[in-house]
Structure 1
Amino acid sequence: MPDPTGDYLDIISAPDGEYAPERFVPAPPSGLVAGVVPAQESAAAASRPWIGIHFACCGHYIRVYRRPNETRYVAKCPNCHRRAVLKVAANGTSARIFRAGPN
């Protein structure tokens, strides 16, 4: 279903064609190690599919979860409320981090 507001975001790559998450995601707070999931999150995160999206429109990074029986991820920028919808398909990508930019 089309977004009635007309606020669409396209998934785009980094300006040089190479996506490097460290460009967009700040360093973890002290006491946390990048790439390590705390023990209390690991069981829940393993059962819930997720992707990370950097919203270039406002500079926010969020993690988006979906139910295992759904076939798409729906994300909304926490600042300007633009939506990004990513469909899950057999011929899709195995990437877990994406960048959404304005049309």
Structure 2
Amino acid sequence: MTEERDSHAPQRSHVGVHFKCCNVYSHIYMNHDKSAYAGHCPKCASRIEIPIVKEGGSSDKFFTGS
């Protein structure tokens, strides 16, 4: 049986991050003011923030953090 997504739920923009500190992969999400993707390692809580820039930015959806 498959679960259907609620069509009324807002979609949160995210990017994938490989945290080298604990060798784990996780998603981080756009912050409230939409200026960066921010999150933390799910094992050791190491913080990461990836700024969102209008010009000269990246279209990548996967990053590596330390």
Superposition TM-score tier, normalisation by shorter sequence: 0.7 to 0.9
Query: Does residue 52 of structure 2 align to residue 81 of structure 1?
Result: no
Structure 1 unaligned residues grouped into runs of 5+: 1-37
* Backbone CA RMSD of aligned residues: 2.4
Which structure is higher in RCO with an 8 Å CA cutoff and minimum separation 6? 1
Corresponding position of 1:99? 64
Q: State the match for 1:49 in structure 2.
A: 13
TM-superposition CA deviations, 1:63-85 (whole Å, max 9, x none) = 11225742111121111111111
Q: 1:67 to 1:76 in 2, by over 3 A?
A: closer
Structure 1 segments, 4+ long, off by >6 Å, are none
Query: CA distance change for structure 1 residues 43 and 98 in 2, over 3 Å: closer, same or farther?
Result: farther
CA distance in 2, matches of 1:57, 1:42: 36
Normalization by structure 1: what TM-score? 0.51
The letter for the 2-side match of 1:48 is: R
1:86 Cα deviation from its structure 2 partner: 0.4
Using structure 2 for the length normalisation, give the TM-score.
Answer: 0.74
Q: Partners of 1:92 and 1:43 in 2: how far apart?
A: 30
- The one-letter code sitting in structure 1 at the alignment partner of 2:16 is G
- Secondary structure, in 3 states, of the residue corresponding to 1:40? coil
